[in-house]
């Protein structure tokens, strides 16, 4: 624990003295998070989380700070650790400990061992609700720390799938299944922030470039749409025929990565899979091609294979590494293939996290209310939460929409007449 620790708040952060610098950031994020603020106002009144312990493993950023504060203001005891050591904002961590008394265990650049220690620090508090961006807490609870499983009433997570999803021992709301999350976080947020991060890393002019987007899930769609919106000619690669078809009908060229790589000025991977760019594709790239990754994990570009093809490697600009290939071509990799919008940008805009985190806060409330009747499996976010978040977001934008009249409601549910 750092020297001038906050009395009474268990924590492991860089330095509480950094709070000064982080305060403005938490406030600036607050400004762009009107939906979460609306939830917070409700929570302050209704106190739905009183007496509940919430353990959260999230990117420790200014936006997350606003979520943690909202949960706290709803009555919860909140303990926080980092979903990713690279994204931890030490100054924000300091604000949480110092100004808000929220137990935080997060240090930028912490090694894997320290991260595990931080997860365990959270689990030691016996959280009744877990929040995961990814599935770190859930993963640890179901593997190394099954001893802590029994006290958990429910949790939220993202990216739970396959065998892992089938094995969960408590009700988990998959917030990435919510409409608003998919719209804001996966599509709008990833779309803009990926392009933004590429521009910050390279200062490339996108107009006139051939940009290949690997993957046409919500993230890839957002990236493709924004790249086109900035004047690029966009190619899409996919493994799923429905998504491939959607890309084609959206006016994008669709082809295999082997063919796409030959034409690419810039490739952005957004598939959630590994080795999407591999040796067979590197062999086709044009001289000066630029590669980056917008997927969660850094395995999408097989940089090891690329390194084996290279005779030299150097950083030519911050976050831009040049691989001089033995055949004379040069290839550039951004941020070493790590998730680019976190590595070279600022992650999602606050207004994106606003919607995601409002959904999360309402999902925590929902779990606390309904855990007794929920099956122990992965659940979609309740439609009612989606609707409520959408309504609050529209209100924050000053948008009023129509309502069905009684007559219209009746019309919608009747058998058509005249048989």
Q: Quick one: which of 126, 256, 311, 384 contacts a copy of itself (CB under 8 A)? A: 256
- Does position 190 interact with a copy of itself (CB under 8 A)? The reply is no
CB of 222 to a copy of itself, least distance (A): 9
Distance, CA of 277 to CA of 110 (rounded, Å)? 28
State the minimum distance, in angstroms, from the CB of residue 53 to a copy of itself. 21
Residue 224 touches a copy of itself, criterion: CB under 8 A: no
Q: Between 31 and 50, whose beta carbon lies closer to a copy of itself?
A: 31
88 counts as binding a copy of itself under rule CB under 8 A: no
The size of the interface with a copy of itself (CB under 8 A), counted in residues, is 105
Does position 361 bind a copy of itself by CB under 8 A? no
Stretch of residues binding a copy of itself (CB under 8 A), selected from 83-91, 94-102, 193-201, 371-379: 193-201
Q: Taking the complex as a whole, how short is the minimal distance between the CB of residue 85 and a copy of itself, in angstroms?
A: 13
User: Which span sits near a copy of itself by CB under 8 A: 69-77, 83-91, 121-129, 270-278?
Assistant: 270-278
Judged by CB under 8 A, the chain residues 106 through 125 that form the site for a copy of itself are 112, 116
Our finding on whether 406 is near a copy of itself (CB under 8 A) is: no
Identify the residue among 5, 86, 346, 382 touching a copy of itself (CB under 8 A): 346
Residue from 94, 110, 232, 310 that binds a copy of itself (CB under 8 A)? 232
> What residues from 307 to 336 belong to the interface with a copy of itself (CB under 8 A)?
315-317, 320
């Amino acid at each position: 624990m750092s020297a001038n620790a906050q009395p009474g708040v268990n924590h492991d952060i860089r330095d509480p003295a950094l709070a000064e610098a982080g305060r403005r950031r938490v406030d600036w994020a607050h400004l762009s998070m009107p939906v979460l603020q609306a939830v917070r106002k409700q929570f302050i009144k209704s106190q739905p989380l009183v007496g509940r312990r919430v353990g959260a493993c999230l990117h420790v950023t200014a936006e997350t700070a606003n979520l943690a504060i909202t949960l706290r203001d709803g009555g919860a005891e909140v303990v926080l650790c980092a979903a990713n050591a690279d994204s931890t904002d030490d100054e924000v961590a300091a604000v949480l400990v110092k100004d808000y008394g929220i137990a935080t265990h997060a240090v930028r650049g912490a090694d894997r061992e320290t991260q595990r220690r931080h997860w365990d620090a959270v689990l030691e508090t016996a959280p009744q609700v877990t929040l995961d961006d990814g599935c770190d807490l859930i993963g640890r609870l179901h593997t190394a720390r099954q001893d802590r499983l029994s006290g958990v009433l429910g949790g939220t997570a993202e990216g739970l799938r396959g065998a892992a999803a089938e094995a969960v021992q408590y009700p988990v709301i998959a917030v990435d299944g919510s409409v608003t999350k998919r719209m804001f976080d996966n599509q709008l947020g990833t779309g803009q922030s990926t392009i933004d991060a590429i521009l910050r890393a390279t200062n490339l002019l996108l107009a006139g470039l051939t940009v290949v987007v690997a993957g046409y899930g919500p993230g890839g769609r957002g990236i493709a749409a924004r790249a086109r919106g900035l004047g690029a000619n966009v190619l899409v690669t996919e493994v799923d025929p429905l998504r491939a078809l959607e890309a084609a009908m959206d006016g994008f060229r669709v082809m295999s990565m082997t063919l796409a790589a030959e034409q690419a000025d810039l490739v952005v991977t957004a598939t959630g899979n590994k080795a999407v760019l591999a040796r067979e594709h590197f062999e086709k790239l044009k001289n000066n091609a630029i590669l980056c990754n917008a997927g969660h994990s850094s395995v999408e570009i097989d940089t090891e294979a690329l390194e084996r093809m290279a005779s030299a490697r150097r950083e030519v600009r911050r976050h831009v590494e040049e691989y001089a290939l033995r055949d004379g071509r040069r290839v550039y990799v951004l941020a070493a293939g790590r998730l680019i919008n976190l590595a070279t940008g600022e992650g999602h805009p606050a207004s994106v996290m606003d919607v995601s985190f409002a959904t999360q806060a309402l999902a925590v409330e929902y779990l606390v209310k309904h855990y007794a009747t929920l099956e122990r499996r992965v659940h979609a976010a309740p439609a009612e939460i989606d609707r409520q978040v959408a309504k609050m977001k529209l209100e924050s934008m000053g948008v009023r929409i129509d309502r069905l009249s009684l007559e219209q409601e009746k019309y919608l549910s009747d058998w058509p007449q005249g048989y």
